[in-house]
Amino acid sequence: MTRISTRSYSVRQAEMLAQQGLHPVMARLMAARGLGEARELATDLDALIAPKALLHVEQAAIFLADAIDAQKKMVIVADYDCDGATACVVALRGLRAMGAIVDYIVPNRFEYGYGLTPEIVALTAREKSPDIIVTVDNGIASIDGVAEANQRGIAVVVTDHHLPAAQLPDAAVIVNPNQPGCGFPSKNLAGVGVMFYTLLALRAELRQRGRFDAATQPRLDTLLDFVALGTVADVVKLDANNRILVAQGLKRIRSGRAHAGIAALFSVAARDVRKATPFDLGFAAGPRLNAAGRLADMSLGIECLLTDDSSRAWKIAHELDTINRERRDIEAGMQEAALAALEHINPQDSATLSLFNPDWHQGVIGIVASRLKEKFYRPTLTFAPAGDGMIKGSGRSIPGFHLRDALDLVTKRHPGLIDKFGGHAMAAGLSLQESNFSTFQQAFETVGREWLSAADLEHVLETDGGLESDYFNLDFISMLDGQVWGQGFAPPLFCDEFRVLNQRVLKERHLKLQLEKDGRPYDAIWFNHAEGLPGKIRAAYRLDANEFNGRTQLQLMVEHAEAL
């Protein structure tokens, strides 16, 4: 059940923002998103939080600078998602530009698991013989892996953004805005953002050592298209600092300065780089890169981003697109099986959903969990076989239910039930014995019933209220598109009453509409909704500039509608 609501905001705050030069509607939108001053919308690089605010980043810079001076061999150990891949590429390109001897390894997730495990350390030592391991987008929970590296005489620098457990690994240096004692104002940096900040600090350290000056130093801003992609694809909150990183990356992409791999990913997704948006990063480029880590080997995705050869990038991007199509087919089958399993269960009777299927692919369970969470609005965990009697689960949550903390509580109440777990408030992963699944299912549901009320389990679609008809134009859409919208900084969603002039179903899936407001007709479409609407509706919608046959026209993208 979905209920439409209007975001509250301070009228006085909106007026103050308007007085500072914001368009009156933009002022209202920003006040509703908690902005206090117009300068919080600044996207210049000099508005970034200084690297020194990140705990231990200067210590990491000194450690890495010493390693570069001593020509020690470094190996990046990457995670297998888009954030991990972009962080790996940022680390490789940045460190090499500063004189480091550095290689990378991204182990098969199904064989070696997540994070810097002892097995991955052994593999890295055998294949790469490093003096130093640098983790990107992982490592904060790798107690045993770091211990194994230390025992082998390999120093470890952890760069991560995931939430730490009570014990931290005994690494040479840890850079993570979420570690205890770190006062960095933006706790929402993605793994690629943490690595970018580490490089900024390293460059400052090398500059101080006289390696280069401000004129000859490596241009780290050239890496911002990777930073933008990883940040958006990892669905971290786009706070003021992350919006700067994403805005600057998009600026490079739109100006034709994207790296070959990102340009190729846009090309195979039929997206125009000149009009690149956060949506393109999160739903076109990101999934194609992620597909490699889900079904094959993320090395393929990393190589796509590492090459400067446009032809090679184009070839790899097409391979990734093929893998992504396979991923979508697998996902569709798994989702169908999940819905069939729920046919005799009323999800409304439960606070959570936990599903296991022996035929599921562990590379796709996270996406299926996300789809089911969206459909039923419940914290959802989906599990697939992992071999040797183990199953792996991936979860997605709803606001008000901290998924990692919930798993932590289950572990405390039932020691030994969960083998390993980790993650964030909204997404987490875990592994356990298949024989323990039903026990876990009940324990997780118990936490859900304790933490969630009926109101928490009602999907509330927050809108920005009505929009005056004078703003239904392409210039207004262009102004809105000038901002970076995304997770935690929701794109504008308006709500008004309309008369339905006509409607038809496209491809048996989408509802094509003509709506009328204040005597003016508007084209509209409701994707993945084929049921007809009554003559008068209240609709939540976004404004879209629809290009067709060389013409650009305003279109309403309906997200929800209810009869009046």
User: pLDDT tens digits, residue range 381-429?
Assistant: 999 999 999 999 999 999 889 999 999 999 999 999 999 888 778 888 9
Q: Which regions in the chain score pLDDT beneath 70?
A: 109-110, 112-113
Q: Where are the domains of the chain?
A: 2-41+461-563, 47-257, 342-457
State how far the Cα of 365 lies from the Cα of 343, in Å rounded to an integer: 19
Q: Could you give the 3-state DSSP secondary structure of residue 71? A: coil
CATH topology of domain 2-41+461-563: OB fold (Dihydrolipoamide Acetyltransferase, E2P) (2.40.50)
Give the residue from 358, 413, 350, 402 showing the smallest Cα distance to 378: 350
Q: How many residues does this entry show for the chain?
A: 564
- Please report the pLDDT score of residue 110 as a whole number: 65
Q: Which residue type, as a one-letter code, is found at position 195?
A: M
What torsion do the CA atoms of 534, 540, 544, 547 make, to the nearest 10 degrees? -20
Instruction: CATH number for 47-257: choose from 3.10.310.30, 3.90.1640.30, 3.30.470.30, 3.40.50.300.
Output: 3.90.1640.30
Give the span between the Cα atoms of 319 and 315, in whole angstroms. 7
What Å distances lie between residue 518 and 80, 158, 535, 543, CA to CA? 51, 58, 15, 17
Q: In degrees to the nearest 10, what's the CA dihedral of 223, 142, 101, 50?
A: 40
Give the span between the Cα atoms of 345 and 248, in whole angstroms: 47
- Distance in angstroms (rounded) separating the CA atoms of residues 421 and 201: 31
Structure confidence at residue 113 (pLDDT): 67
Structure tokens at 299: 């090395």
**Measuring CA to CA, how many Å separate 549 from each of 48, 205, 542, 553?**
41, 54, 22, 11
Contact present, 489 and 33 (Cβ < 8 Å): yes
User: E strands along 339-490, which residues?
Assistant: 353-356, 380-387, 390-396, 418-423, 427-433, 459-463
Fold of 342-457: Diaminopimelate Epimerase; Chain A, domain 1 (3.10.310)
- pLDDT for residue 155: 98
